[in-house]
Amino acid sequence: MQQRKSKKILLYLFLFWILGSINNINLNDLKYTEIQRINISGLDQNKNISILKEIEKLNLNNIFFLNSPRIENILISNSLIENFEIFKKYPSTLEIKIYKTTLLAKIKKNDKIFIIGSNGKLSSNDFLNKKIPFIYGSPEIKEFLKFKKIIDDSKFSYKKINKLYFYPSKRWDIELKNNVILKLPKDNLKNSLDNAYTLLNDKNFKDLKVIDVRLKNQIIIND
C-alpha cells in the first residue's frame, strides 16, 4: 500500500516537472503546492502551539519539496517527545503526530529538580506535582533506565515505589509507598526483587520495615 502511494507521488512529481519544463514554470511558485495548514497533536494545547510557532519560523513553502530534517530537529530537541510521525495531506496540509514520553522519576541536578522521561531526556519543573518516584543520588540516566527495566521485568510494580536511592557503589535501595525499605545487591537484581516481592506478600510476615536481599541466598528482615 505504501509502495503504491509512493509511486503515485513520484508520478505526480514527474508530471509537474514536465509541465514546468514546457511552460518554463517554477513549481515553487505554484500556489496550490504551498503549505496552508500544519496540524500538531499529542501534547497539551500550549505545547503544541509552541512547537507550531517554531516550525512556522522555518518558512516552509512547497509541500512536494518539504525539508523534513529541519522539522525533525525541532521535534527531536523537545524533551517531552518520545517519537513522532510526519504526514503530508495533499494538496496543502502537514500533519504531525507526537507520542509523548512517559515521565518516570524526579532527580536533583545542579540544585534544580528535573523529570526523567522514558526517552532518556530531562524535562524542566513543569511537572513537579506529578506523583512519581524521587531519586536520591547521582546515577547516569542510562543507569536509571536500565534499573527501571529490571523492575518492570520483575514481579514488582513500579507504581508502588516512592523513593529510589542510588549509591556510589552502583547499588540501589527502594522505598515503597508503604514505607518498607528494600536493600538491593549490585547484581542479580531481578531475582532479588522477586524474592522481596514474595516475602512482602507472605501473610506470615507482617509490618516489615526493611528487607535486605544484598547477600546471596539470604534475606534479612527488620520489623
pLDDT in tens, 191-206: 999 989 998 888 777 7
Give domain 30-100's CATH number out of 3.10.20, 1.10.10, 1.10.3120, 1.10.3470: 3.10.20
CB-based contacts of 70: which residues, under 8 Å, 6+ apart? 58
| 30-100 matches 103-222 in fold | no
What tens digit of pLDDT does each residue of 157-187 get? 999 999 999 999 999 999 999 999 999 999 9
Q: Which residue has the higher pLDDT, 172 or 90?
A: 172
Phi, psi at 181, each rounded to 5°: -105, 130
pLDDT at residue 223 tops 80: no
pLDDT number for residue 59: 81
Average pLDDT of the residues of the chain: 84
Q: Which CATH architecture has domain 103-222?
A: 3-Layer(aba) Sandwich (3.40)
Q: Is 65 exposed, middle or buried (0-12, 13-18, 19+ CB in 10 A)?
A: exposed
Which position has the grid cell 512482602? 200
pLDDT number for residue 140: 95
pLDDT number for residue 202: 82
Structural element, H or E, at residue 4: helix 2-23
Q: What is the pTM of this model?
A: 0.77
Q: Which residue has the higher pLDDT, 169 or 217?
A: 169
Give, in order, the Cα–Cα distances in Å from 195 to each of 70, 140, 148, 159, 174. Answer: 50, 27, 17, 18, 14
Confidence of residue 22 (pLDDT cuts 50, 70, 90): very low
For residue 10, the one-letter residue type is: L
Q: What are the structural domain ranges in the chain?
A: 30-100, 103-222
CA distance 143 to 86: 32
